[in-house]
Structure 1
Amino acid sequence: MRILVVGAGATGGYFGALLARAGQDVTFLVRPARAAVLRERGLRVVARDEEWALTPRLVTADALDAPYDVVLLSVKSIGLDGAIEDVAPAVGPDTVVVPLLNGLAHLDALNARFGASAVLGGVAKVVTSLDEDGAIRRFAPLAHLALGEQDGTDSARVAAVRTTLGTAGIASPVPGHIVTAMWHKWVFITTLGAVTSLMRGTVGDVYDVPGGPVLGPALLDEAAAVAAAAGHPLPEAERAATLAAVSASGSPMVPSLYRDLTAGRPTEVEHLFGDLTDRARALGVATPLLDLATLHLRVHQRRVTAAATGGA
């Protein structure tokens, strides 16, 4: 099975590295600058209990000339349109595209470009980040990639991809319905992202001040209400897990969105928050706190864009 990993960052890079280390046929589609770093230093994974590196097989967009069996699409939403065009030569009639983005808007874009029959749903869970020197830092051994057909049916191709993931120690549980699982991850990531970005602090920073403990549950109620109105109610166990994650005294937890925000980088505000609040309005669900988080992130995004383009 020939696998193309689009992006060699914290998520795609980690999954791809595990697959390559297990002997799978993996190629990374990267930008020239990232390719230069990887050729010089290798693809490195650093954890508290281990450190390892491999020499990855790399390709740039101009050199893609044949289809792959599986495309793992792991890019930020702000780079999605460009990635779709870059990867198009690698998507043939039998290629399976597995997107690893949060939210749901990317499915519409991928379906429009490649056809819904080529695109699976996916939910990735890892605890990793990309260091300034290009290494992938792993904070916990979690490597979870649920995937499935968008219509919820079983298929031989999904089973084949799960088997391949299993050879690398990547857990790939069978979801009841992958789109529902994507909705539930979306609820989690927007709740966590709103708590930390609105208050500019870790979960513990927010929870440990007067009034802080009420914010996480209120945001979770709004996000869960949107999911329920869309036909994907949050099971009590998942609600409890999300609530525990955003209601922990002393917790250092922050999402990648918060790290981008505080570093002055672009965020995925429209993909994660703008799309969710738009759907909330269409479904008649009130989301005042999520609307506020969206506005906060949009102001940041405008400043970042203006700085990048030399505007005021």
Structure 2
Amino acid sequence: MRILVVGAGATGGAFGTLLQEAGRDVTYLVRPRKQEVLRRDGLRFISPTTDRTHQVQTITAADGPKPFDLILVTVKATALDGVLNEIGAFVGPETAIIPILNGMAHVDQLEQQYPGQVLGGLARIVATLDGDVVRQKMPLTSLNVGGLNGKTVPAQVSDALAVPGVDFSIADDVTGALWEKWAFIAAAGIVNCLFRAPVGRIIDAGGRARILEAITETEGVAAAAGHPVSDAGHAQAVGILTEPGSAFTSSLYRDLTAGLPSEAEHILGDLAVRAHSLDLSTPLLDLTLIQIRAGLPA
């Protein structure tokens, strides 16, 4: 399959490299400046075991129309609106689209624009973009894909994505999996952004009960929306967010305190809208959004 990876950041660069190394036909949709860098220097990916640089195929939005068989949308939510305006030239009637973002708003947007062509995607990888270098911090690299609205994942999509280095699987309920991850990252965002500290310091300050309340709030929204968090997912959230001495902070908090564009509205704002539509009380979520919108201090 001809695969288009939208964005060559941490997630896109990591998965794109592993797909390319397995012989897949991979092209990156990037901005002109990024295209110049990649053409000159290639894409460097440093994993926990290997440091490698590959020459890659790139296009920009101005290079369409040119339909691909599979499109992986790997940008952050802050860039999603621009991407939605750009990928149309690369979507054909049989193109499968897999967005790999947090939350659920992007799924609704893409489904509205390309009904029946969108699959759910859930990636787990700890990677960052250091300048133009993709650095993976932990060995975990998994990709969970599933059909939406009763549809199945085409065999050719599964075959294309099942490559060495990626723990690939098909989700029976990808929507439920997306909600479960959303509930966790929203709880983590509330905890760190509201109390402005890593988990360990919040616990030391007497905040454990409030952390558990945040988890209850976000998981309550998921349950009311028809996607209750599993016992294993709940236990994992509690374990991560209540570990004494932990230096854990959410990526949302790190972006905000660094003055970077954040996914606050995509992760927390959208969850609050859905909570209110379900007549749920989410006081910690609401307080966090007020603090963020008013200007979170570093």
> TM-score normalized by structure 2?
0.95
1:134-169 CA distance string (max 9 Å, x none): 1111111111111111124434x1x33222222243
Query: What's the RMSD between the two structures over aligned residues?
Result: 1.6
For the 8 Å contact 1:152–1:176, the answer to whether it is kept is no
How far is 1:16 from its partner? Answer: 0.8
- Tell me the SS of whatever aligns to 1:187: helix
Closer/same/farther in 2, CA of residues 48 and 95 from structure 1, 3 Å limit: closer
Listed as ranges, the matches of 1:29-44 within 5 Å are: 29-44=29-44
For the 8 Å contact 2:105–2:266, the answer to whether it is kept is yes
Distance 2:188 2:62 in 1: 38
Partner of 2:84: 84
Among residues 244, 248, 253, which one is paired with 1:253 in the alignment? 248
Q: Which amino acid aligns with 1:163?
A: D
Partner of 1:192: 188
Among residues 116, 139, 142, which one is paired with 1:141 in the alignment? 139
For the 8 Å contact 1:197–1:258, the answer to whether it is kept is yes
Listed as ranges, the matches of 1:101-250 within 5 Å are: 101-115=101-115, 117-131=116-130, 133-155=131-153, 157=154, 159-207=155-203, 209-250=204-245
How far is 1:48 from its partner? Answer: 4.3
How far is 1:97 from its partner? Answer: 0.4
In structure 1, the gaps of 5 or more residues are 304-312
For the 8 Å contact 2:28–2:59, the answer to whether it is kept is yes
Q: Between the two proteins, what is the percent identity of the paired residues?
A: 42
Matched, 1:266 2:249: no
For the 8 Å contact 1:261–1:300, the answer to whether it is kept is no
For the 8 Å contact 1:45–1:52, the answer to whether it is kept is yes
- Tell me the SS of whatever aligns to 1:173: strand
Distance 2:250 2:202 in 1: 14
- Tell me the SS of whatever aligns to 1:92: strand
Distance 1:102 1:36 in 2: 29
How far is 1:125 from its partner? Answer: 1.0
- Tell me the SS of whatever aligns to 2:146: strand
The structure with more strand, counted as a fraction of residues:
2
Distance 1:211 1:281 in 2: 29
How far is 1:75 from its partner? Answer: 1.3
- Tell me the SS of whatever aligns to 2:262: coil
Q: Which amino acid aligns with 2:123?
A: A
- Tell me the SS of whatever aligns to 1:94: strand
> TM-score normalized by structure 1?
0.90
